[in-house]
């Protein structure tokens, strides 16, 4: 059945990612509701969380935050908008351009199926996958809502999932459109990711500065935030849902229209270059072949490491820009947030549990503790970069890009280790750049922090990212790209889930240590846990060694 149409085949390819993202995020919502119901029983606790939500109103609009539905909408709403959108833009960039890169679209179009039908079915499959993801998020949400008597019904939970899916669909369609102007899918995904980060920044600026509220209407996240179906009496905003639907549809239609008018494998050319009279078309083709297709003098072809570094470096640049922008913004508004948090010191026990959460920081009124939260928020970004790079390694094998490399006099293990060494280099460049950006922002904001501690906090991000990538390299020895990405996503979500749940329920430290997130600790407050970092480095070496051993003995999939 799954191979009877392009739509069903494409939908089948998304099954693991949809299941892992949907059930993982749904479980996080369900646990948050249960915790909220148990913690907000006293008037003091309700007053504390209300004040906290108002202090962080720039992140998400606080509405009835003392109810389970309102608390989840405020605390997890931005993450439920961000994480599925990241998956959607990665999937959208490979829906057509990724197929063109590996040549499978040529084969598909050789069958009696038109371009219009092929592209339409693939796009519809992507949107259907996102709707299924929203449904999987809604099911645990509904179950938890009924368990704690949150007051919303099945329709409200379903609308919450649909709202998440529609917001993610916009960025999937945006990446699809941008991929029509690039020769590879990676630049399109990176550009869509940068626009996603910019949308969150503009939305936050609009919340902080009333005069700049108009910029919110330019961002999809604003229309996503208009709907709050889990809050009794608030419901979903029809205009917001309609705006997201129309935007995703318009971007998709534009993408398909451009595909119908361009060559397969080539980008859309906005401005045609004038032909030089002294150079014939044949000579131009020869020059292009020599300069582009056969870059014999390119520095990146001097070694496997250099070529891997050139590949990962382009993606690392965009991730670095996002991290720098986030660090600068969060440091710039530090004074304003800290002043608002002074009033919450009286309820320090609950305050520490709810604000510190996974990071374990309770007192955010001093500079080091506040910056610990800023640094801890970089963890998802760094781990996301690691997941993408692990998927890239598995995809290179699937797309047949390793056969040519392995035809050269390089051993299999050395090829994998050289690629991972390039990843290590990129990760270190990202964390060091983040340190420089944070140090500059801290100086300009007049905050007090020990710069050696700040450097240690940034460098401690690297082992976490590398152990995730090494696990992905090992998993690629048996699994395909989609399965590798889904597995890593599930492990990361499980780590956050375990840390969040364990911190709230005060589980033993021996249980919490199974979460990778706990290994990071609070380096800006208590210093870097050298033993934990050493354990992660040794684990990375062992896992990478096992991955190289497996890669050296398996059949290469083309």
Q: Tokens 């996958």 map to which residue? A: 129
User: What is each CA distance from 87 to 43, 135, 169, 348, in whole angstroms?
Assistant: 40, 16, 10, 37
Q: How far apart are CA 68 and CA 35, in angstroms?
A: 8
Q: What Cα–Cα distance (Å) separates residue 340 from each residue in 111, 335, 364?
A: 63, 9, 11
Instruction: Give me the residue spans of the domains in the chain.
Output: 13-266, 300-558
176 and 93 Cβ atoms separated by less than 8 Å: yes
Q: Residue 402 has what pLDDT? A: 82
Looking at residue 190, what is its pLDDT? 82
Please name every residue paired with 78 in a beta bridge, in sequence order, or none if there are none.
none
How far, in Å, CA of 154 to CA of 143, rounded?
9
**What is the secondary structure of 308-373 as a DSSP string?**
HHHHHHHHHHHHHHHHHHHHHHHHHTHHHHHHHHGGGGGGHHHHIIIIIGGG-----SSHHHHHHH
C-alpha distances out from residue 345 to 47, 201, 304, Å: 12, 28, 55
Integer Cα distance of 146 and 401 in angstroms: 50
Q: Greatest CA span in the chain, whole angstroms?
A: 84
At residue 235, what are phi and psi to the nearest 5 degrees? Answer: 75, -170
If 0-12 CB within 10 Å is exposed, 13-18 middle and 19+ buried, where does residue 478 land?
exposed
Report in angstroms the alpha-carbon separations of 223 from 200, 216, 217, 242, 410. Answer: 12, 9, 8, 9, 52
Measured in whole angstroms, the distance separating CA 539 from the mean position of its chain's CA atoms is 24
pLDDT of residue 174: 96
- Taking only the tens of pLDDT, the chain with its 558 residues reads 777 789 999 999 898 889 888 988 898 898 888 877 777 777 777 777 777 677 667 678 888 888 889 989 988 888 899 889 989 998 999 899 988 887 888 888 888 888 999 999 999 999 999 999 999 999 999 999 999 888 899 999 999 999 999 999 999 999 999 999 998 887 888 889 889 988 888 887 777 766 556 777 889 999 999 999 999 888 899 999 999 999 999 999 999 999 998 888 888 876 554 444 444 555 555 544 444 444 555 666 668 898 888 888 877 887 788 777 777 766 666 655 555 554 444 444 444 444 444 444 445 556 676 677 677 777 778 888 888 899 888 888 877 778 778 877 888 899 999 999 999 999 999 999 989 888 888 887 777 788 888 899 889 999 999 999 999 999 999 888 777 887 887 788 778 777 766 666 667 777 777 787 788 877 877 788 889 899 999 999 999 999 999 998 888 764
pLDDT, residue 242, reads 96
Task: Return the structure tokens found at 401.
Answer: 């890009």
Q: State the Cα torsion 267-272-275-280 to the nearest 10°.
A: 20
3-state secondary structure of 478: coil
At residue 276, the pLDDT reads: 44
pTM: 0.73
Whole-angstrom distance, CA of residue 119 vs CA of residue 300: 34
**Which residues are CB-contacts of 148 (< 8 A; sequence separation ≥ 6)?**
33, 34, 36, 37, 68
Q: What is the pLDDT of residue 202?
A: 83
Collect all residues with Cβ–Cβ distance below 8 Å to 389 and sequence separation of at least 6: 312, 315, 423, 426, 469, 472
* CA distances, 476 to each of 101, 174, 409, 420, 485 (Å): 20, 29, 23, 14, 10
């Amino acid at each position: 059945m799954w191979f009877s149409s392009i739509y069903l085949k494409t939908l089948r390819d998304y099954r693991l990612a949809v299941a892992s993202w949907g059930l993982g995020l749904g479980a996080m919502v369900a646990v948050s509701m249960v915790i909220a119901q148990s913690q907000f029983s006293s008037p003091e606790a309700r007053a504390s969380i209300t004040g906290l939500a108002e202090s962080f109103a720039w992140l998400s609009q606080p509405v009835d935050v003392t109810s389970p539905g309102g608390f989840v909408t405020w605390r997890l709403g931005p993450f439920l908008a961000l994480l599925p959108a990241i998956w959607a833009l990665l999937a959208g960039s490979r829906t057509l351009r990724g197929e063109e890169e590996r040549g499978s679209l040529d084969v598909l179009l050789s069958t009696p199926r038109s371009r219009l039908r092929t592209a339409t079915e693939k796009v519809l499959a992507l949107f259907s996958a996102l709707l299924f993801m929203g449904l999987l998020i809604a099911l645990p949400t509904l179950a938890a809502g009924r368990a704690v008597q949150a007051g919303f019904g099945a329709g409200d939970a379903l609308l919450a999932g649909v709202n998440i899916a529609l917001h993610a669909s916009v960025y999937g369609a945006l990446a699809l459109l941008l991929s029509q102007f690039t020769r590879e899918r990676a630049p399109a995904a990176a550009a869509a990711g940068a626009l996603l980060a910019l949308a969150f920044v503009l939305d936050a600026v609009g919340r902080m500065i009333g005069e700049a509220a108009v910029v919110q209407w330019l961002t999809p996240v604003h229309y996503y935030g208009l709907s709050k179906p889990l809050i009794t009496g608030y419901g979903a905003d029809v205009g917001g849902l309609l705006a997201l639907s129309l935007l995703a549809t318009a971007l998709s239609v534009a993408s398909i229209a451009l595909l119908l008018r361009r060559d397969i494998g080539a980008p859309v050319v906005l401005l045609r270059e004038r032909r030089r009279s002294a150079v014939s078309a044949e000579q131009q083709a020869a020059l292009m072949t020599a300069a582009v297709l056969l870059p014999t003098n390119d520095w990146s072809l001097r070694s496997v490491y250099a070529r891997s570094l050139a590949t990962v470096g382009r993606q690392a640049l965009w991730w670095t820009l996002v991290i720098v922008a986030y660090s600068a913004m969060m440091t710039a508004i530090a004074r304003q947030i800290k002043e608002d948090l002074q009033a919450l010191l009286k309820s320090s026990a609950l305050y520490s549990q709810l604000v510190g959460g996974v990071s374990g920081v309770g007192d955010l009124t001093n500079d080091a503790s506040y910056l610990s939260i800023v640094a801890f928020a970089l963890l998802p970004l760094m781990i996301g970069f690691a997941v993408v790079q692990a998927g890239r390694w598995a995809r290179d094998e699937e797309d047949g890009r390793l056969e040519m490399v392995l035809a050269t006099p390089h051993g299999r293990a050395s090829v994998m280790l050289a690629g991972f060494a390039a990843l290590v280099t990129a990760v270190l460049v990202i964390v060091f750049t983040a340190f420089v950006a944070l140090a500059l922002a801290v100086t300009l904001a007049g905050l007090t922090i020990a710069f050696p501690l700040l450097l240690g906090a940034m460098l401690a991000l690297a082992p976490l990212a590398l152990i995730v990538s090494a696990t992905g390299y090992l998993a690629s020895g048996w699994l395909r790209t989609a399965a590798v990405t889904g597995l890593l996503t599930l492990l990361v979500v499980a780590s956050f889930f375990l840390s969040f749940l364990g911190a709230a329920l005060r589980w033993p430290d021996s249980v919490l240590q199974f979460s990778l997130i706990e290994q990071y600790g609070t380096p800006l407050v208590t210093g870097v846990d050298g033993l934990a970092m050493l354990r992660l480095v040794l684990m990375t070496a062992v896992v990478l060694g096992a991955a190289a051993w497996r890669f050296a003995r398996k059949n290469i999939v083309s």
